[in-house]
Amino acid sequence: MSGGLIAVAVLSFVVLVFVFRAVKIVPQARAMVVERLGRYHRTLIPGLAIVLPFIDRVRERIDLREQVVTFPPQPVITEDNLVVGIDTVIYFQVTDPRAATYEIANFIKAIEQLTVTTLRNVIGGMNLEATLTSRDQINGQLRGVLDEATGKWGIRVNRVELKAIDPPRSVQDSMEKQMRAERDRRAAILTAEGVRQSEILRAEGEKQAAILRAEGAKQAAILGAEGEREAQVLRAEGEARAIETVFASIHAGDADPKLLAYQYLQTLPRIAEGQASKLWIVPSELTSALGSGLGDLSSLLGTRAAEAGQPAERPAPAAPAEGGTPPTRPLNKSSLPTSARDAPPAG
């Protein structure tokens, strides 16, 4: 009885071990490479799978997701003989678990070494400045070479990135000095451009102001001249109207020569006050009027003298020429009133 129980227990244990070894559960985005009797048999896809215990053996569990690998800095010599340290990051994905298992022993190490050799080959044909400014070009060349080399390994290189490019410390100091000098130069250029633009704008403003002032002065002069012209025209028109009015009044009043001679004598002192009064032309009508007036005055004085018993001489009046206008003659200052004789001569 006890022997039968032991046999049943042993058989149950064997069955459990058999089932445990035969049933395989493959997670999502994973793959299992199965060997039968030491040879490749099949690749298990995600899900439940059955294998033969002790005959089939799972060789590798492959991750089918995209993987990221960061490699340590690698010293690389540029074309201008400068040693720079470059950090690279590679994004790859296993597309064929069988090839990744049997075509290469350690594909991570192989990718790292291939990246280093390719990077040295690419950077060796470029100078430091081109290396620092051509990351996209370097990334494209690395990806092309790596993808072509790793294709037979069942691996696809999706992207290669240069994480850092570190030149030597001395070169970094020189680059910083150069960048500082370049920034100072640009600042000086911008300052000079600003000053130049401000001077140009100031000169343009002064030019416009001068033009506007000149235009204003011109308009003011034109308006002043037009006003003066209008004033002179109005003044001349006023004087003409005044003369016409006076002339009309004289003719309307029918003034006799005696009144005209008296008015002329009243005007002579004001004429003599001028600095340029050297000689006055007395019209013949005035002399005839003065002669007749003086004749009447002499006759009056003679009558009074006869009445008083004293003779009086009558000055002969100036008689006008017959049939014409009496000639004009210069008037001596001795015949003028005292105020006219005492007027200072012109210099």
Q: Could you tell me if residue 240 is inside a domain? A: no
* Residue 259 pLDDT: 67
Last residue of a domain, one of 140, 167, 194: 167
Give the residues of the chain that fall short of pLDDT 50.
297, 310-347
Asked whether residue 287 is assigned to any structural domain, the reply reads yes
Cβ 134 vs Cβ 187: under 8 Å: no
Instruction: Say what the pLDDT of residue 213 is.
Output: 92
Contact between residue 80 and residue 45 where contact means Cβ atoms under 8 Å apart: no
Q: Residue 276 has what pLDDT? A: 56
What digits encode the pLDDT tens for the residues 102-148? Answer: 988 888 898 889 888 888 888 888 888 888 888 888 888 888 888 88
207 domain residue, yes or no: no
- State which residues form the domain around 308: 260-341
Which residue, of 125, 151, 167, is where some domain finishes? 167
Cα-based distances in Å from 333 to 80, 147, 277, 278: 118, 134, 11, 10
Q: Are residues 117 and 54 in the same domain?
A: no
Q: What is the pLDDT of residue 337?
A: 45
- Whether residue 145 sits in one domain with residue 97: yes
pTM of the full structure: 0.48
pLDDT of residue 191: 92
- The answer to whether the CB of 155 falls within 8 A of the CB of 100 is yes
How confident is the model at residue 244, as a pLDDT? 82
pLDDT at position 145 is 87
Does residue 225 belong to any structural domain of this protein? no
- Asked if residue 72 and residue 150 are part of one domain, the reply reads yes
Q: How many folded domains does the chain comprise? A: 3
Looking at the fold, whether 99 and 136 belong to one and the same domain comes out as yes
- The reported pLDDT for the residue numbered 323 is 43
